[in-house]
Each structure stands twice: as structure tokens, then as C-alpha cells.
């Protein structure tokens, strides 16, 4: 019997209960169990107060920039250019949806938003599917060179995208795919694969091996095991990978800039915004609303699927 | 395993044409084929091709040997680019890891842990482009009159002169701050998980022996979570070596803020110099190789423990 699947300290196990929503204090937070003298108790509560103050302060500092953009996006253009966003918080308020209307209609950011979706959805589904098949094979099949091929893929995890862009651009030009969506789907699939395979193999490898073995003994084919047993069990891990890949593709600027170069009608949100920043350095009113529209989807995904997001991060990096 | 081998053919109803092992290998090949094809065509081949292109002139018609690299490491313009990347690498890594660790320790001790963590983590979900726009409102500079940038409004209130943060000296630091704002949350979440894994009894024993909180932190906690710190730091190094979007969006690489990835982009699409841009990409790859080796080693050690 091989050792596959007998991994008590696999990332999936470690991370199951750790997420942002957990308020469980660690061992550090419980300095001692013995009873305290009144003086010690006073010091303790002053300390706690100080800590809370510090943490609130840090959280505020971290939130202020985003909050400022949010407020700005609802202010009239004249006000944005003449006064700081914090002055808009003082009554009388002059909030307006003008910037959003302007962005969606005259600046045609609606198209850019759709383009972002057209790029991101296949750019997420294809790599996750391809990676899931490969990760299953790496975790549960026996074949010569398995570990070497896997190591090779893990090694490619760190290859700078810049290293690949020129040849990919040439390849796509030869195939007549530059400036179109197909080329960028293929590129994002390749860029996402090493991490996706690495992550899914850890997750799949952590699933109970007895289950797979007994299914094999009963004569189930790999395809059947994959779809009937593994995929239903792996939904949470697939979710965290999907979130990752989606955010990565959605937020990407460089790949879109290079591979979609001469096709502004295919440009996603990031490219459209970057063009706006460069061409009208002070066209703030359009930028504010555009930036917020581009953030809306990732933020919604983040808040609704926070648990999976954090789980994926931890599994991808808390190792050893 | 012996049972599996014996039973499988009968379960299929007939003997497979090859041995069970060969058959399994063939099936596996089909399962990994799409992934391997993608990786070979879009990652492996391009890496080799770029290595080759970096030895040629701007339109890849003439072999120039290492001349492109010589240009990169001698021309004053690219030397500033390399210097900037180094500043990013050192300050960015130190700041994100240190802040991430400090905040992880702090939030661990307060009741509002999850809310504070979410606030610090949110920038992760925002694109670099979005972050660039957000921070334009922090760094905005107005030579005379009302400051609409938060930072200048703040310091003029205190009686200082407003600064052109993105233009003057220190502008690289201003850009790094944006990165730190985005990625500290990532470090915090991972380090926080590691902190929660430090066993209580060890800390308890240290406290009973009279160790202060600071020495417990540096002598026990930091060494215990050092593997995680290493993982977080390497992730940051990989990110920072390739840093592109923040610089591209906020300064376009002007005012001495360019980094290797931005210079790569300019050389490729603005100056149409395939040789130099390939050579710049190779510089990034070479810088990342030690981390690649470190990652593989770490991975093999883990596998050995399975």
C-alpha cells in the first residue's frame, strides 16, 4: 500500500477551522491560568485597552484610503477637484450618481466590465478543470516519473510572467489569435496551472485513501471515482481555487496589456482604468467611479466566500 | 494492493491488453496530458525561447552574445531600475512580513479580531490598478491652494509644506507603501494561523520560569513559526521581483521609479527592443532561481515526511 493519502498534517486538515471569522484566541492571548492579584488585573486591563486601541487605529488607517475613494466617487466633479473627500462628509451633502452614469455611458466602461467577465470566467474554469484532472492523477495514480513531472510543474510556479510574454505573443500572432479572447484564456490557463495543480494535489492527497482504494477494488474506473467521489468531496477546495484564479485574472493588468495590445474594444476594466490614469492624469471623477466598479465584484466575492479564500491562502503557503 | 491487482481484470470482465501497471500509466498520461501541454507550450517553451532571444539584437536578426546584459548592467538608466527593484525587494519584504507579524500578534489579543483582520485583509481583493487610483487620492499634490490629497492635507494642517510624494525623492518609498498596504493582510492571515498553532504548554512553561512577554516572543514564538515566516517572505520576494502594476499605474516608471518589469514592458512595446526586454526578463528569472530551488527542497522535505 502506498503512502498516498496518509498525511495527517496536510494543509486541508490544518486549515479547516482557521479563517478570518474565527475569534478564537491563541495560546499567546492567555498568559496564565493562575489567579491574579488586583494589581496584576489592573495592569492586564490597561494592557488590553491599549492593545484594542492600537488594533482599532491600525484597522482605521488601513480602511481610510478605500473609504476616501468610495466617498469621492459619489461627489460632483467640481467638488472632487477643489476639496478633499473628507470635506464632503460635512453637511450639506452633495452626493450624486453622476460619476457612475458618466463612466457607464460616455466612457463605455460597461463594455470593459463585460470584457473582464468574458476574460475571467473561462480564464478561471479552464485552468481549474485541467488542473483537477492532473492533480487527481498526481495524487491517486501510479505512473513512472510522476514525482518528477510534478516537481517540474511546481518549479514553474515562480517563473516571471515577463519571461513568457514575448514568445507567447509570437505564438499567438502565428496562430492569428492576438487581440482576441482565446489567446488570453490560453495564457491565463497556463499561468494559473502550476499553482492550481499544486494546491489541488495537496487537497486531493489529503482525502481518505481507503475510500479511493475500495472504489478501485469494486471496479470503479478513475473517471467514475473522479466525478462521483472526489469532486463532491473537493467542492470546498475547488471553491477556494476558483476564487483565487478568478481574482487573479480579474485583477490582471500586464497580460491583458500585452496580449490584447491593439484591441481597445476587448480591453478589460484594469486596462481601461490604467489608460484613463495615464491619459487624463487628473480626470478623477471618472476614475473614482470606474475604480469602484472594478472592485465591486472581487469585494462581493471576498465577503461572501471569505472562508474559502482564506483557506486557499493558508493551504497554498502554510506548509511544513 | 495485491488484492487490487488480482481483482481488477475480473471486475472489468476481460484481461486488459497490457499489464495493469502499463495500463494505469497510459490512463495517467491522458489525465495529465492537457496540463503538461499547456505548461510546456506556454511556460517551458517561452522560457527557453526568451533565454535565446536575449542573446540577439532588438529585432532578433543578429546574434550579439551577452551585449544586452552588458547594456543593462552598465547604462545609468537601467542601473537605477535595478536599484529600485532592490529597494522594493528589501523594504517591501521586510515591511510586509514585520507588520504582518506584529499585527497578527496584536489582533490575537483583542476581542475585535475578526473585524480588524477583515479591514486589513480587504485590500487583497482589490486590483493593483484599483489600489493605484485609491492612493492617488492619498498622495495628490497641489502646488498652491487647497490640498485634496489626504497626506498633504494632513501635513499642511500640522504646518509643514505640501510634498509632491510621487515625484520628489522618496517616491519609491511612497509606491512601496501601497504594496505594503495591499499585502500585509496576506502575511497577517498566514502568520496568525501559525501563531494559533504554537502549543500552549510551551508558553506556559516559559512564563512559569519567569520569561517576559518580549523574550517569549523572540526566543520561542519567532523560532517556532520561522518556517511559516520563511514561506511568507519567499512569497513576498517572488511578488516584489515581478512588481509591475503599482508603478505602471501610479508613475508610469517616471521620476526614477521604474522597476525591471516596467522597463521590460517599455522596451518591448514602446521601444520594440526584443533583445533588451528578453534580457530583462532573464534577469528576473535568474534572481528567482534560488527561490525556485528553495521551494523544491522544502516540498521534497514535506513529501519525505508524508
Residue A276: phi and psi, rounded to 5, are -65, -40
State which CATH number among 1.10.3720.10, 2.30.40.10, 3.30.470.10, 3.40.50.970 fits the domain covering A102-317. Answer: 1.10.3720.10
Q: Which residue has the higher pLDDT, A196 or B168?
A: A196
pLDDT at A8 exceeding the cut of 60: no
Average pLDDT over residues A129-143: 91
Residue of A nearest to B224 (CA): A320
User: What is the model's pLDDT at position A86?
Assistant: 83
**With an 8 Å Cβ cutoff, is A291 touching chain B?**
yes
pLDDT of residue A177: 81
Predicted ipTM? 0.81
Please say if the pLDDT value at position B303 is more than 90.
Answer: no
- State residue A243 phi and psi, 5-degree precision: -60, -45
Which 8-state DSSP code applies to residue B160? P
Q: How is residue B217 annotated by DSSP?
A: I
Q: B150–A64: do the CB atoms touch at under 8 Å? A: yes
What mean pLDDT do residues A200-217 have?
82
* Domains in chain B, CATH or no CATH each: 54-305 (1.10.3720.10)
Burial of B23 per CB tally in 10 Å (0-12, 13-18, 19+): middle
Q: Are B284 and B277 in contact (CB under 8 A)?
A: no
Name which of B18, B27, B38, B215 to mutate to probe chain A: the one with the most chain A Cβ atoms within 10 A of its Cβ. Answer: B38
Q: Which residues touch A16 (CB under 8 Å, ≥6 apart)?
A: A311
The radius of gyration of chain B's CA atoms, rounded to the nearest angstrom, is 26
The phi, psi pair for B244, rounded to 5°, reads -140, -60
Using CB atoms and an 8 Å cut-off, which of residues 58-97 of chain B contact chain A? Answer: none
End-to-end, the C-alpha distance of chain A in Å comes to 24
pLDDT at residue A35, as a whole number: 67
Check residue A14 and give its pLDDT.
36
| DSSP-derived secondary structure letter, B167 | T
Nearest to B105 among A28, A160, A298 (CB): A28
Whether the predicted pLDDT of A40 surpasses 50: yes
The chain-wide mean pLDDT, for chain B, equals: 86
**Mean pLDDT computed over B126-135:** 87
Cell numbers placing A244:
483565487
Which of B115, B284, B305 is opposite residue A163, by nearest beta carbon? B284
Half-sphere exposure of B114 (CA within 13 A, CB side): 11
Q: Is A222 at the interface with chain B, CB within 8 A?
A: yes
Q: Are A185 and A121 in contact (CB under 8 A)?
A: no
CA distance A111 to chain B (A): 18
pLDDT score recorded for residue B306: 58
Q: What pLDDT shows up at residue A30?
A: 54
pLDDT of residue B305: 67
pLDDT at B141 over 50: yes
Q: What is the mean pLDDT of chain A?
A: 80
- How much is the pTM? 0.84
Statement: residue B107 has pLDDT above 70: yes
The model's pLDDT over A89-131, given as tens digits with 9 standing for 90+, comes to 877 777 888 888 888 877 778 889 999 999 999 999 999 999 9
- DSSP letter at B63? B
Q: What is the pLDDT of residue B6?
A: 40
Over range B102-114, report the average pLDDT: 87
Q: How many whole angstroms separate alpha carbon B269 and alpha carbon B285?
A: 20
Distance separating alpha carbons of residues A231 and A281, to the nearest angstrom: 48
Taking the C-alpha atoms of residue A29 and residue A48, their distance in angstroms, rounded to an integer, is 10
Percent of chain B with pLDDT over 70: 93
pLDDT tens digits, B265-298: 899 888 989 999 999 999 998 998 888 888 788 8
User: How far does CA B92 lie from the centroid of its chain?
Assistant: 10
Q: For residue B56, is pLDDT > 90?
A: yes
CATH 1.10.3720.10 domain locations along chain A: 102-317
pLDDT (tens digit per residue) in A56-68: 999 999 999 999 9
| The pLDDT of residue B255 is above 60 | yes
B69 pLDDT band, cuts 50/70/90, is very high
Give the span between the Cα atoms of B80 and A75, in whole angstroms: 40
Q: How confident is the model at residue B34 (pLDDT cuts 50, 70, 90)?
A: very high
Q: Which of A56-70, A297-311, B157-171 has the highest mean pLDDT?
A: A56-70
Confidence label for A198 from pLDDT (cuts 50, 70 and 90): confident
B4 has a pLDDT exceeding 80? no
Q: Say yes or no to pLDDT of B63 above 60.
A: yes
Degrees (nearest 5) of the Cα angle A174, A180, A182? 80
- Crossing angle between the packed helical segments A98-105 and A109-140, to the nearest 10 degrees: 80
Amino acid at each position: 500500500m502506498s503512502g498516498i493519502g496518509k498525511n495527517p498534517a496536510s494543509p486541508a486538515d490544518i486549515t479547516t477551522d482557521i479563517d478570518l471569522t474565527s475569534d478564537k484566541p491563541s495560546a499567546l492571548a492567555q498568559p496564565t491560568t493562575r489567579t491574579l492579584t488586583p494589581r496584576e488585573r489592573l495592569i492586564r486591563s490597561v494592557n488590553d485597552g491599549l492593545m484594542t486601541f492600537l488594533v482599532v487605529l491600525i484597522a482605521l488607517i488601513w480602511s481610510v484610503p478605500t473609504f476616501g475613494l468610495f466617498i469621492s466617487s459619489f461627489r460632483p466633479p467640481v467638488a472632487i477637484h477643489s476639496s478633499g473627500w473628507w470635506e464632503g462628509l460635512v453637511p450639506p451633502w452633495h452626493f450624486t450618481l453622476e460619476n457612475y452614469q458618466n463612466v457607464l455611458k460616455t466612457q463605455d466602461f460597461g463594455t470593459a466590465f463585460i470584457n473582464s467577465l468574458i476574460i475571467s470566467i473561462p480564464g478561471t474554469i479552464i485552468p481549474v478543470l485541467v488542473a483537477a484532472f492532473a492533480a487527481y492523477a498526481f495524487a491517486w495514480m501510479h505512473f513512472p516519473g510522476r514525482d518528477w513531472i510534478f516537481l517540474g510543474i511546481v518549479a514553474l510556479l515562480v517563473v516571471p510572467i515577463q519571461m513568457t510574454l514575448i514568445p507567447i505573443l509570437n505564438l499567438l500572432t502565428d496562430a492569428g489569435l492576438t487581440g482576441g479572447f482565446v489567446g488570453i484564456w490560453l495564457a491565463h490557463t497556463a499561468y494559473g496551472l502550476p499553482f492550481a495543480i499544486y494546491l489541488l494535489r495537496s487537497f486531493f492527497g489529503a482525502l481518505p485513501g481507503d475510500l479511493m482504494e475500495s472504489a478501485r477494488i469494486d471496479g470503479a474506473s478513475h473517471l467514475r471515482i473522479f466525478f462521483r467521489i472526489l469532486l463532491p468531496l473537493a467542492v470546498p477546495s475547488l471553491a477556494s481555487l476558483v476564487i483565487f484564479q478568478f481574482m487573479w485574472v480579474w485583477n490582471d493588468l500586464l497580460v491583458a496589456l500585452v496580449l490584447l495590445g491593439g484591441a481597445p474594444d476587448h480591453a478589460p476594466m484594469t486596462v481601461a482604468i490604467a489608460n484613463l490614469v495615464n491619459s487624463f492624469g487628473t480626470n478623477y471623477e471618472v476614475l473614482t467611479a470606474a475604480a469602484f466598479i472594478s472592485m465591486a465584484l472581487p469585494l462581493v466575492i471576498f465577503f461572501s466566500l471569505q472562508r474559502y479564500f482564506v483557506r486557499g491562502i493558508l493551504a497554498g503557503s502554510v506548509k511544513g | 494492493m495485491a488484492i487490487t491487482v488480482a481483482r481488477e481484470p475480473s471486475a472489468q470482465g476481460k484481461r486488459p491488453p497490457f499489464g495493469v501497471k502499463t495500463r494505469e500509466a497510459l490512463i495517467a498520461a491522458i489525465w495529465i496530458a492537457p496540463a503538461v501541454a499547456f505548461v510546456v507550450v506556454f511556460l517551458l517553451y517561452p522560457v527557453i525561447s526568451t533565454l535565446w532571444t536575449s542573446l540577439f539584437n532588438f529585432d532578433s536578426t543578429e546574434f550579439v552574445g551577452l551585449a544586452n546584459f552588458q547594456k543593462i548592467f552598465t547604462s545609468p538608466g537601467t542601473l537605477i531600475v535595478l536599484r529600485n527593484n532592490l529597494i522594493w525587494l528589501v523594504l517591501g519584504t521586510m515591511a510586509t512580513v514585520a507588520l504582518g507579524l506584529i499585527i497578527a500578534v496584536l489582533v490575537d489579543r483583542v476581542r475585535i479580531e475578526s473585524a480588524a483582520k477583515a479591514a486589513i485583509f480587504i485590500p487583497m481583493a482589490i486590483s493593483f490598478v484599483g489600489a493605484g487610483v485609491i492612493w492617488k487620492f492619498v498622495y495628490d499634490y497641489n502646488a498652491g491652494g487647497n490640498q485634496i490629497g489626504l497626506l498633504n492635507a494632513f501635513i499642511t494642517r500640522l504646518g509643514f509644506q505640501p510634498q509632491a510624494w510621487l515625484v520628489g525623492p522618496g517616491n519609491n518609498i511612497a509606491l512601496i507603501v501601497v504594496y505594503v498596504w495591499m499585502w500585509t493582510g496576506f502575511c497577517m492571515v498566514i502568520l496568525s494561523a501559525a501563531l494559533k498553532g504554537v502549543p500552549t504548554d510551551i508558553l506556559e512553561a516559559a512564563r512559569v520560569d519567569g520569561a517576559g512577554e518580549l523574550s517569549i516572543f523572540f526566543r520561542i514564538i519567532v523560532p517556532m513559526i520561522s518556517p511559516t515566516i520563511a514561506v511568507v517572505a519567499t512569497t513576498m520576494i517572488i511578488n516584489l521581483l515581478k512588481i509591475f502594476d503599482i508603478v505602471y499605474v501610479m508613475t508610469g516608471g517616471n521620476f526614477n521609479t521604474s522597476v525591471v518589469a516596467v522597463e521590460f514592458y517599455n522596451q518591448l512595446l514602446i521601444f520594440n527592443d526584443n533583445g533588451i526586454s528578453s534580457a530583462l526578463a532573464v534577469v528576473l528569472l535568474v534572481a528567482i532561481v534560488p527561490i525556485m530551488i528553495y521551494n523544491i527542497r522544502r516540498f521534497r522535505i514535506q513529501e519525505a515526511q508524508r
